[in-house]
Structures are given as C-alpha cells and as structure tokens.
C-alpha cells in the first residue's frame, strides 16, 4: 500500500472518530486537539490539512493546541492563531518540582538543602531536566546501583560541571549515571530513534534494540526480550524514557540534543542502523508485535500466518519443521530476522518474499550459500553475519538491490566484495571481523554512505580509491584492527565526525586532517608504528573532542583546538614531556599513564583546567606535579606506581575528589601537615606501598571525615595499626577493605558497623582470630593468604554470600562446615600443611576453583564429580586414586604434586568407569606420564567436552550423568576392556587427544562442528582402529566415508550408529572404487532426512546382523541392487524399520531374518517378494503401513512354510488383503484395523489369536 493511500485512510479514521465525539457531546463542549511537541516538526501546510478533517459546523467549536520548543527553524503558524510563550521556571518553582519528585530518603542526607538548591539552579528552569535527574537519583535510592550511593549521586548532581553547553547539565549528569554498556547502547539507540520518529509501542522499541545487537550474543529470543524489558523499565524509572497511553514510549525532548561522545558512538554499536535508514518516513513501523515462544511476530490470529509482516525467530525453532513449509505461509513478510539459523543455504520460500524490506540472519555458522539472495530486490536492510563458512560471494549478488541502505556482512571469510556500484542509496556498510577481507571494490558510487565499519578485518590492506572525497555524507570510518598501511586522503568530507584506527599496526603517518571541519573523534590507540602527524595544526577543528594516541610512538603533539575534552596518551613510550595545556580549557580527561619515559610536565599549574575530572599519571617518571589546587571538578587522581614522585602538591582545593590512588609511590615524602580530611566526598583511597609516608598517622587523622568511603587500601603499613583500626568502625559505607601485608595488625576491631563490606583482604597479617566476622553477612571475598598465625576458623554459616575463601599458607588444621556456602566460587587451601581432611563439598554447587596443593590431604576429593561448575582443580601429593569413583574431571587439573605413576597403585571399583573431562589438558598430563597413561587407558573410558564457554550449545550443554555415556551402553557388551571415548560439542578438532585416539576402539562423536567426514576425527593419522562408532548431531556431515582415510578408519567397524544428522546424503561416496565392510555387524540409522539409501550393491556388509532404520524421511530403498535375488545377507537376523514414508522396497534377499518390525512405512506395498523368502523368521510385526497389500509375494503360497514363525502382529494396515502364504500354527497372533483382510480365509491357527477388525 502506498504512503498516500495510508494517509488518506488515516484521515478518514480521524474524521470518523471526531464525528463520534461530536455526537456524544451534542454541541455542549469544545473539542480540543492537542499536538504535544509537534510544532517543530510541522510543515507550513500541515495545520491546514489537519483542519480539513475536523468538524466544520458551529455546534462543536474546535481548538487546536500545538506545543513546540523555541527554535528559529520552527514554522510560523498563520491565521488567527494565538501564541503563548512559557518562560523557564523560577528557582522556587524548580526547587518545588525537585522536592516533590525526589525520594524522601534524600532528605536524611546531611546538608541536603544546599544540594537541592544547587540542583535546582543547574536545571535553569527546565522541568524535564529536573524530572530526568530526579529519576536517576530515585533509581539509585531504590536499587543497588554499583558504585553509587545516595550521598555520592546527590553530590554529583549538585556539583556537576561540563564544558559542553549544548545540553542541560542535569541531563548529561543523569546519562553518566547509567550503568553498563548494554543500557547505554539502548539509550543511544533510543535517542537516534526518537530524533526521527514519534512515540512507539514498547514492544517495538525492545525489538529494535534486539535487532541492533544490543543483547548479543544470546541463544533464545525470550532471554533477549527479557533483558530488553528490564532495560526499558530501568530507563523509565530513571526518567530517560516516558510512557504514555496504550504503552506508547517516547523520550523527553530535552534529552534528544545530548551529544554521543563515546569513541565508537551509535554508528559503531549498531548492526543495522534502522533508526537512520527508516528515518525519512518511507516505512511505517514493525507494526503491532508480540513476544511468544521462540519468536517475536506480528500480533494476529495464530491461524492467519499470511498476515504476519514482522518475524524474529530462533533458528532452533525454525528447524523444528520444514523451512519452506513454514515460510510459504508468510509471503507478506516485510521484516525477517533469524538468530542462530541451522540451515546451510537460503531456502526457496525466502526468495519468494517480494515485499521483504529487512532480512537479518545472525550467527549463521552453518550457512554456506547465499547466492539466491540476489532475488530479493526490495531489500533496504540486509545482515548476514557470523557465516564463517562463506568464502566468496557471486559477482552479481547486489546488482538488483538498488534500494539497499544498510549492509552488514560481519564475520564472513570472504577476501573481497562483489561490485557495489549499484548500491547508490547505501548508508551503512558494516564488515566487522571479516578476517580474510583484503580489499574493497571502488566506493565511488556510494554517494550516500554514512558509516564504513571494517573493524577486525585483519587482512584488509588498502582502498582501491586513493581519496574518499566523493563520500560527502560519510560520518564515521572505522578501520580498527586492519592491516592498512597507507590511508586514503581525507579531504572535503564535511560530515565526517569519527576516524577510528585502533590497533592499526601498519600506519606510521596520518594524512592531513585540517579539511575535516566536523571531526570530533580521532582514535589511533595501538597504532604502534605511528610516530608523527602530517599536519602541523589541528587547531581549526572547532568540534574536535577526543584524541587517543595511546601506545603510539608519538613524541610530540600538533596544535590541538580548545574544544578538546579527552586526551589519552597511555603507553606512549617515546613521549618525554607533556606539552603545555593552557589552550585546552575544556579538557575533562587527561591520561598519560604507562608512558614510561614521561618525566616532565611543561605546565607549572593545571589551574586553567577547570573542567578536568580525570587525571592519570600512573607509571610515569614524573618527580613533581603542577599545582592542582583549583581543580574543584577533579573526581579521579591516579598516581599509582610513580616511583620517582617525591612530593604531593597542595590537595586542599580538591574538594570534589572521589578517587585518590598514590599506591606504589615509594619515593614520596611527607612535607608539611599532609591530610586528606577535606576530601569528604572520597569514595576510593589507595595508599598501598607508600614507603616514605607515615600512613598510620595520616589515615588516623583523615578517616573519620571520609564517611562516603567505599574502597580503602592500606597495604604494606609496617608500623603499629592500632590507631587506624579504631577508626575503621566509622566507615559504614565501606565495601572493600585491604590491609594486606600489614604485620603490625594482630587483632581486628569490631566490624559490626561495616555491614556493607563485601571484600576483606587480611593476607600477610598477624591476626590470630576471626571472631568479629560473624556480622559481615554481605561478605563476598575473604582473603587470608599468608596469615601464618591463624590456626582456627569460626563458623562461617553467616557468610552465605561468600564467593572467594583464600586460606593459603595459614596454619588451620580443619575447616568448619561449608553447607551454607552454596555461592562459593573459589576455595584456596594451598600450603595449608596441617590440613588433612576436608568437610563435605556437596553444597558448593557453584565452585569453580579448588586448590589443595601443599596440604596434608591424602585422598582424592571424589565429591568433585558432583560439582558441575568446577573449572580448576589443584591436587596435593597423592599416592592412590580410585578411578572408579571419579565421574567427572574439570577443564584444568594440576597433578604436578601427585605421586601416582605406578599402575598398580590405581584402584577401580567393579566395572570399567567413565570419566567426563572438560578440555584436553588432562590428556597432556597423561602424555607426560606414560605409565599412568597406560593404566588409565586400560581401566577408564572418557567423555571429553570443551570448556563451557567454548561449547557449541553454551550453557545448554547437558551435564547430567543420565545422558553422558548413554551411547556407550549400546557398546557395553562388546567393548569389554577396550577404550571408549566420547567427543562432544567441539567447533574444531580438540588437539591433545592424539594419543588417546590411538588406543580408542569405541568412539562417540556428538555435536561436533568440525566433522564433515569420518577422517576429520583423525587428521593427524594416529593409526586408530575403530570398532564401534556413534555419530550424532554433526550438522556439517554430508558423507561419512568419502576419502581414502575414511575407508581406512571404517574398515574395522563392527558397530555404526548414525543419529540426527540432517544433511547426511550418503554413507558412502567419493572416487574410491570399493570399501570392505566385512566386519560390520550392527547398523543403526536415526533421523537422517536426506538419506535415500544405505549401501550400493558393491558395498554390502556381508556379516551384518542387526539393521535398524528410523525417521529417515527420504529413504526409498535400503540396498541399491540391480539383481536383488543374487545378493544375500546371510547373517542378518534382525531388521527394524520405523517411519520411512518414502520406502518402497528393501532391495535384496533376506532369507535368514529372525525378527522383523516395520512401522509407518506408508509407501511399502509388500515386505518379502518371492525371492526373499525368510525361512528362519520368528517374529513379524507390521504397523501403520497405509499402502501394504500383502506381506509375502509368492506364486505358490501353500508351498511356503515358515516353520519357525511364532509371533505375528498386524496393526492398522488399511489396504492389506492377504498375508500371502499359508502359515503353520503360531504361538501368538494379533490383528487389528486391517479392514480388507479376511481372517477366516487366512486359516490362522494359534494358541492366542486376538482380532479387533471393527475397532
């Protein structure tokens, strides 16, 4: 439907609704139409068009109220319109709104009246600024909010200063209080969205966030939606968003002017840029959508899939049914997003969607072919990311996509792109992590390009175009992590705001940047060969804000404009002196940390840097600092490890300081009356290893005033600690306390008042008792390493939140009960030589690290088999291990101190145990201990999986003992003492298994992405001889035996079990002429929908005994044979065939069968032709075969005797007319729902005959 038609329909709907209003009021009331905040967006004729659809008679007087912000660009409304100007609120009005909006708990803060007054003044009479700031403060008051306390947040709002005058300070302050990258990205996407769109239903906004990748990676849409909803509620609570009627969300207009000064900005975090692409009214919206199981879709009747225009779906849901059948019902789709798709090529139904505007296929690591996507000529947005199997693209791929505006091909392994000359409307080109991409085609035709993102394209060397001057609309260029050596000329690019060249190690010189008037951010961090600028001055760049030259070889800086707010020179190894900063009056951040040669600072004072809030000189060689006394906005002063720093300047003027770190300043001497008492807003104080300062005296004088302090580090104090200890009780907001390596600390004061304390580090102290810890119920880390005088521990039951307990090097002889410590992640007991036993560990369900090295423990901790989160185990000196008791080994096991090398010392319980091993490090250890390896391989079988974070299915990986090793139960009576190995969930071949593979006879391969053929298991040719093989969920496998090495590995197979391999087309293929399956006795095939037959005539397994085939949708015949009467499997005694809808014949003679079960083979008309008479048949069961007409085809049925048949079961065979032969008396006969079979004619005789023909 065209936009004009849609607008016309909307007019009629508005008019009808207003007519209804008119009738209901009967002329007694005015009709008021409010167009709130629409004035600036309206065009000159809009008001006239609106009047045209309103009632025109005198019975219903109409008034229109249009609100707008003061702007020179706003249209003038002519006619009899009356203009009313609202002036900013008075100070009293602002204060009243603040007092009514803010949580009453803030009134309990000392000096709150003055802080409220300061905030009201900063609002400048703007109600929205007060509302947003109050929302941010209220959220902190009602939630645990990271580093913020109510006091520190209120003070930040009151004293906040920023150089940028374009946005109200309170709104900027509220943004800076947003925690974490995810919520910040969602906020900035919302800013971009609402700058170009009005209100939107909250479901649609969350869906935009999901599509832009703000919650990546995720394995289920439900999780992403839940996280998005949580972010939405937080932004609403903070006042950054507001919700209106019908769940419509919008943003406070005053926030839309905020400047995104992040190094990557919105353009660097967006995956699609939907807000920009559809910001011109071309597209109405995602429509009314809802989140349901595994998808987000258009809200409609579940039966009316044809009305679905928007669909976001998990790939796992899509794979549950045929792609084409599912997609064929939704040819009206405009937006389709598939996350983690399981298909290998673009489906035929997808390319039929001629209305598709947005196609997103994300994390598609199975996708190999996208050639058909060229048929989607209506696309405006296309993302195909994470398709690491795609090595090249067709030259004509984009020829017909003339409307494409956003293209994201991140993560493809392509070397170059097809021509882009037809993509004249393209605005975003995103090629992140295309590690093989070495060049781009010409970009000359991309005249509308705004974002060019090549970050992580590590092979990219050059642009074909020597200049980018034709990209007049370009806003952001990101070449971070590329191999580019020579940059094109950046000339006459009036809209370019960001150039990001992080980790571009080949760049040694920059082009001239003086002709980039809008440039705001230049990031060259990690460009380790860059040693100079090609331009002498950047002073003309009036909008320039951020310059990052960290880890470059720059020794001097060009002239920098006064607009600069952030200067980062971290790790600049050739920088000797910090140049004069007098001109940088707007500077907010200055970081020269780790610039190891920096010894001089040209400025004698930093008093001119009135907006400076962050100063980091850590690990430099400076000896003296400039004056800092006027830096009232300085929040962080970091001087860590300035080993040559001799004196501190006067710090009394730093009343707003929140973080002070002078740890490691070993040459620092105290001169005068040094005190930190005036720093009442300090939240973090680190004075570790300050050798020349009398820390006890200084800290004792200052601590009482530091009521906001959250982190206190006083490590390395050698003098008596009693004066400090007595002051600790006043620090009621303390979260982290470190008194490490303070030998003068022998007793702890009462710490009951420190109820918020989460980390307590007393390592290396002389304490002997911990009785005072009982009240610290929020403690997460208790570090006592090296407390050699500590012999006993109190009960730890009250510390239920404890995550780290470090007792290394203590004198403890026993541990208290650990049952209440279910949150414990690390238990470190190394060098506890007096500790000989462990309490029960079963309750430690989240334990990741257990270190027992150097203890007196003599027995392996067998309970670790129950600790499924354990990642690292460090063992003490052990002589014996009962391998039968070990069910699971973590990823990282350190056996170094163990003496178990003699095989006779390895015990095992009855039967051969299985051990689940994470990673391959354990096998490296076995390689280094050959005697132990030999014993293990004889007595133990293994299941190997990758570390959880590397597994194909991540957190969904199954760890239950019921499932693990279930494959081997099929092998158990055959393998006896042979080594069995399971490899599960690896993306690439797990190196380190070569030795164990040499000895493996029975192997299970489950969910391994590296498996395409059997030989991928043995790429290094270990000489393994496999007797039993289970293949399951290896989605890339199409042919099992294809190469010479495959046949070599398969020639000894006795058992082959293949299950759930959706792309398997054949068992056997390739150019090799023949393969001998002479040892194969058991063959099981399950859920292989593309498999049409099992063996060609030349590859019959002559010793096959059991054949089971189930759920193979395309299986037509089991054996391909031109002369079925001549080929006989004389040892085949059991055949089971379930749900083979296309099966029409078995294919060969099966005379020695004893047991046959056939279910749901709907096209099979008979089982045994005359040439396949099974003389030894004992049990015959046939069910649900719709086309079955006769069981036995034989010209002389009376002459055929099945003397051994004793059980016959026939169920639901609607076309069965005869059994086909005369049967001897049977032990059991059961026939049901075979309406065309006349039982009386069959003359069946049996001890037990059951017939239910009329059911």
Render 90-154 in DSSP notation, one character per residue: PHHHHHHHHHHHS-GGGGGSTTHHHHHHHHHHHHTT-HHHHHHHHHHHHHHHHS--TT--HHHHH
What φ, ψ does residue 854 adopt, rounded to 5°? 75, 10
Among 920, 1049, 938, residue whose Cα is nearest residue 992: 920
| Number of helices (H), then strands (E), in the chain | 22, 54
Contact, 692 vs 718, CB < 8 A? no
pLDDT in tens, 288-338: 888 988 889 888 877 777 788 899 998 877 754 455 567 777 888 899 999
Q: What's the mean pLDDT when you consider all of the chain?
A: 84
Residues 6 or more apart whose Cβ sits within 8 Å of residue 1191: 1166, 1167, 1168, 1180, 1182, 1210, 1216, 1218, 1219, 1220, 1221
Q: Does the pLDDT value for residue 815 go beyond 90?
A: yes
Q: How many CB atoms lie within 10 A of CB 635?
A: 20
Question: Per-domain residue ranges for the chain?
Answer: 3-66, 90-177, 569-745
pTM tops 0.75: yes
Q: Do residues 426 and 450 lie in contact, with contact meaning Cβ atoms separated by under 8 Å?
A: no
Q: Which CATH number fits domain 569-745: 3.80.10.10, 3.40.50.2300, 3.30.70.20, 3.40.50.1110?
A: 3.80.10.10
Looking at per-residue pLDDT, the higher value among 494 and 1224 belongs to: 494
Peptide bond into 217 cis (omega under 30): yes
Give Cα 616 to chain centroid, integer Å. Answer: 32
Of the listed ranges 239-243, 352-356, 928-932, the one predicted with least confidence = 928-932
Using the predicted structure, report yes or no on whether residue 149 has a pLDDT greater than 80. no
What confidence tier does 453 reach under pLDDT thresholds 50, 70, 90? Answer: very high
Distance, C-alpha 265 to centroid of its chain? 20
pLDDT the model gives residue 1198: 65
Judge whether 1040 and 1013 are in contact, CB under 8 Å.
yes
Q: Write the pLDDT tens digit of every residue in 224-264.
A: 999 999 999 999 988 889 888 888 998 877 778 777 766 66
Give percent of the chain above pLDDT 70.
85
Question: Distance (Å, rounded) from C-alpha 646 to C-alpha 623?
Answer: 6
Q: What band does 1254 get if pLDDT is binned at 50, 70 and 90?
A: very low
Determine the 3-state secondary structure of 1066 from DSSP: strand
Residue 210 has pLDDT above 90, yes or no: yes
Check whether 23 has a pLDDT greater than 80. Answer: no
Q: What is the pLDDT of residues 1179-1237, one digit of tens each?
A: 999 999 999 999 887 666 666 677 888 999 999 999 999 888 777 788 888 999 999 88
User: Does the pLDDT of residue 761 top 90, yes or no?
Assistant: yes
Q: Which residue has the higher pLDDT, 1119 or 1108?
A: 1108
Put residue 144 in one of left, alpha, beta given phi > 0 → left and psi -120 to 50 → alpha: beta
Q: Residue 663 and residue 714: Cα distance in Å, rounded?
A: 9
Phi–psi pair at 1039, nearest 5 degrees: -135, 130
**Rounded distance between C-alpha atoms, residue 1059 and residue 1038, angstroms:** 13
* Least confident piece of the model among 68-72, 642-646, 1004-1008: 68-72
Give the pLDDT confidence score for residue 980 in this predicted structure. 86
Lowest mean pLDDT among 242-251, 331-340, 505-514, 1122-1131: 1122-1131
Place 799 in a pLDDT band, splitting at 50, 70 and 90. Answer: very high
Cβ–Cβ < 8 Å for 844, 864: no
Spatial separation of the C-alpha atoms in residues 469 and 461, rounded to whole Å = 19
> What per-residue string of b and e applies to 218-228 under the rule 16 or more CB within 10 Å gives b?
bbbbbebbebb
Per-residue confidence (pLDDT) for residue 963, from 0 to 100: 42
Are 395 and 375 a contacting pair, CB within 8 Å?
A: no
What are the C-alpha distances in Å from 178 to residues 146, 231, 239, 819? 10, 11, 11, 37
741: left (phi over 0), alpha (psi -120 to 50) or beta: left
Residue 959: its pLDDT value, please?
A: 43
| Residue 1059's pLDDT band (cuts 50, 70, 90) | very high
Indicate the SS3 state at residue 317.
Answer: helix
Residue 1250 is predicted with a pLDDT of: 59
Residue 609, pLDDT above cutoff 60: yes
pLDDT for res 146: 63
Report CA-CA distances (Å) from 656 to 154, 592, 613, 632, 638.
Answer: 12, 22, 9, 6, 14
Pairing between strand 289-292 and 804-806?
A: unpaired
Give, as one character, the DSSP assignment of residue 1223. Answer: P
Element (H, E) at 34: strand 31-35
């Amino acid at each position: 439907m065209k936009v004009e038609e849609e607008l016309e329909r909307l007019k009629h709907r508005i008019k009808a609704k207003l007519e209804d209003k008119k009738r209901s009021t009967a002329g007694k009331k005015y009709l008021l139409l409010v167009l709130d905040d629409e004035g600036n967006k309206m065009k000159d004729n809009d008001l006239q068009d609106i009047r045209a659809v309103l009632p025109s008679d005198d019975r219903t007087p109409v008034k229109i109220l249009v609100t707008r912000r003061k702007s020179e660009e706003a249209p003038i409304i002519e006619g009899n319109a009356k203009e009313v100007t609202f002036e900013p609120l008075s100070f009293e009005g602002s204060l009243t709104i603040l007092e009514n909006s803010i949580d009453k708990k803030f009134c309990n803060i000392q000096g709150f009246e003055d802080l409220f007054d300061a905030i009201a003044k900063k609002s400048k009479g703007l109600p929205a600024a007060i509302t947003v700031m109050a929302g941010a403060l209220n959220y902190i008051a009602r939630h645990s909010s990271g580093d913020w306390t109510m006091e520190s947040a209120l003070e930040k709002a009151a004293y906040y200063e920023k150089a940028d005058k374009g946005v109200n300070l309170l709104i900027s302050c509220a943004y800076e209080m947003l925690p974490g990258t995810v919520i910040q990205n969602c906020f900035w996407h919302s800013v971009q969205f609402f700058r170009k769109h009005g209100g939107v239903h909250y479901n649609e906004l969350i869906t935009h966030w999901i599509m832009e990748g703000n919650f990546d990676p995720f394995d289920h849409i439900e999780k992403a939606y839940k996280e998005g909803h949580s972010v939405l509620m937080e932004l609403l609570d903070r006042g950054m968003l507001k919700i209106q009627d019908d769940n419509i969300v919008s943003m406070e207009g005053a926030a839309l002017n905020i400047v995104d000064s992040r190094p990557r900005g919105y353009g660097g975090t967006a995956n699609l840029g939907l807000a920009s692409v559809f910001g011109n009214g071309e597209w109405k919206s995602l429509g009314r959508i809802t989140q349901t199981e595994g998808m987000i879709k258009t809200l409609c009747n579940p039966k009316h899939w044809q009305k679905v225009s928007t669909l976001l779906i998990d790939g796992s849901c899509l794979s549950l049914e045929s792609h084409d059948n599912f997609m064929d019902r939704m040819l009206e789709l405009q937006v389709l997003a598939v996350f983690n798709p399981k298909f290998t090529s673009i489906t035929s139904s997808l390319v039929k969607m001629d209305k598709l505007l947005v196609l997103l296929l994300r994390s598609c690591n199975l996708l190999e072919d996208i050639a058909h996507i060229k048929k989607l000529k209506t696309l405006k947005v296309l993302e195909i990311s994470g398709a690491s199997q795609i090595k090249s693209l067709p030259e004509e791929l984009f020829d017909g996509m003339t409307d494409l505006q956003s293209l994201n091909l991140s993560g493809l392994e392509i070397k170059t792109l097809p021509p882009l000359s037809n993509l004249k409307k393209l605005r975003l080109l995103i090629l992140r992590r295309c590690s093989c991409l070495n060049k781009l085609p010409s970009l000359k035709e991309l005249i509308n390009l705004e974002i060019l993102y090549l970050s992580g394209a590590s092979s990219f060397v050059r642009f074909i175009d020597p200049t980018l001057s034709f990209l007049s609309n370009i806003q952001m260029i990101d070449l971070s992590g590329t191999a580019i050596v020579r940059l094109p000329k950046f000339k006459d690019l009036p809209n370019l705001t960001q150039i990001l060249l992080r980790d571009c190690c080949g760049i040694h010189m920059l082009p001239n940047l003086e002709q980039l008037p809008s440039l705001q951010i230049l990031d060259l961090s990690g460009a380790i060969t860059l040693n100079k600028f090609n331009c002498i001055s950047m002073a003309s760049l009036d909008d320039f804000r951020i310059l990052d030259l960290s880890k470059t070889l720059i020794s001097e800086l060009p002239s920098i404009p006064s607009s600069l707010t952030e200067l980062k020179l971290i790790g600049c190894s050739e920088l000797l002196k910090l140049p004069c900063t007098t001109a940088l009056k707007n500077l907010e951040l200055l970081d020269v940390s780790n610039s190891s040669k920096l010894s001089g600072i040209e400025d004698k004072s930093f008093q001119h840097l009135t907006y400076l809030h962050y100063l980091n000189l850590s690990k430099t060689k400076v000896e003296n600092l400039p004056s800092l006394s006027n830096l009232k906005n300085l929040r962080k002063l970091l001087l860590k490890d300035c080993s040559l720093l001799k004196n501190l300047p006067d710090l009394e003027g730093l009343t707003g300081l929140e973080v002070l770190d002078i740890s490691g300043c070993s040459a620092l001497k105290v001169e005068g009356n040094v005190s930190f008492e005036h720093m009442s807003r300090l939240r973090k104080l680190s004075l570790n290893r300050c050798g020349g300062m009398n820390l006890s005296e200084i800290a004792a004088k200052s601590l009482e005033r530091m009521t906001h302090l959250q982190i206190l580090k006083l490590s390395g104090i050698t003098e008596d600690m009693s004066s400090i200890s007595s002051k600790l009780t006043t620090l009621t907001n303390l979260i982290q306390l470190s008194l490490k390596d303070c030998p003068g600390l022998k007793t702890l004061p009462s710490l009951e008042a420190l109820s918020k304390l989460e980390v307590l580090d007393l390592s290396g102290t002389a304490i002997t008792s911990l009785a005072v810890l009982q009240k610290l119920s929020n403690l997460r880390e208790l570090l006592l390493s090296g407390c050699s005088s500590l012999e006993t521990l109190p009960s730890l039951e009250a510390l239920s939140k404890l995550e780290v307990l470090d007792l290394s090097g203590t004198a403890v002889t026993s541990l208290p009960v650990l049952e209440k410590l279910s949150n414990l992640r690390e238990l470190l007991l190394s060098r506890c030589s007096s500790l000989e036993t462990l309490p029960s560990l079963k309750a430690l369900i989240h334990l990741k690290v257990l270190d027992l090295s150097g203890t007196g423990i003599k027995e392996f901790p067998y309970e670790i088999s129950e600790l499924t989160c354990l990642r690292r185990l460090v063992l003490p000196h052990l002589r014996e291990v009962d391998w039968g008791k070990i069910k699971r080994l973590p990823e990282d096991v350190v056996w170094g101190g163990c003496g178990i090398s003699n095989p006779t010392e390895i015990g095992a319980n009855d039967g051969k145990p299985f051990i689940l091993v994470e990673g391959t490090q354990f096998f490296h250890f076995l390689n280094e201990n050959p005697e132990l390896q030999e014993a293990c391989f004889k007595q133990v079988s293994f299941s190997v999986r990758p570390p959880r974070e590397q597994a194909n299915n991540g957190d969904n990986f199954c760890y239950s003992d019921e499932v693990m090793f279930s494959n081997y139960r099929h092998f158990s009576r055959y393998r006896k003492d042979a080594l069995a190995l399971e490899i599960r969930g690896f993306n690439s071949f797990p190196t380190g298994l070569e030795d164990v593979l040499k000895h493996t006879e029975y192997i299970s391969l489950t969910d391994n992405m590296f498996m395409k053929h059997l030989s991928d298991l043995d790429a290094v040719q270990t000489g393994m001889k496999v007797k039993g093989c289970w293949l399951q969920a290896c989605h890339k496998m199409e042919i099992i035996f294809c190469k010479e090495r495959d046949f070599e590995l398969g020639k000894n197979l006795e058992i082959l079990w293949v299950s759930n391999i959706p792309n398997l087309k054949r068992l056997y293929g390739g150019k090799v002429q023949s393969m001998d399956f002479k040892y194969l006795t058991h063959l099981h095939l399950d859920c292989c929908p593309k498999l049409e037959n099992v063996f060609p005539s030349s590859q019959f397994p002559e010793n096959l005994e059991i054949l089971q085939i189930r759920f193979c949708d395309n299986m037509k015949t089991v054996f391909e044979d031109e002369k079925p009467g001549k080929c006989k499997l004389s040892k085949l005694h059991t055949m089971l065939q379930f749900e083979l809808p296309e099966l029409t014949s078995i294919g060969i003679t099966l005379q020695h069968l004893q047991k046959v079960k056939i279910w749901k083979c709907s096209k099979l008309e008979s089982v045994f032709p005359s040439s396949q008479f099974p003389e030894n048949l004992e049990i015959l069961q046939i069910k649900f075969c719709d086309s079955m007409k006769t069981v036995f085809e034989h010209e002389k049925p009376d002459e055929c005797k099945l003397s051994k048949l004793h059980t016959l079961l026939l169920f639901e065979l609607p076309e069965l007319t005869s059994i086909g032969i005369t049967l001897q008396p049977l032990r059991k006969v059961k026939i049901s729902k075979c309406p065309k079979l006349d039982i009386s004619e069959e003359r069946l005789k049996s001890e037990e005959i059951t017939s239910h023909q009329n059911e």
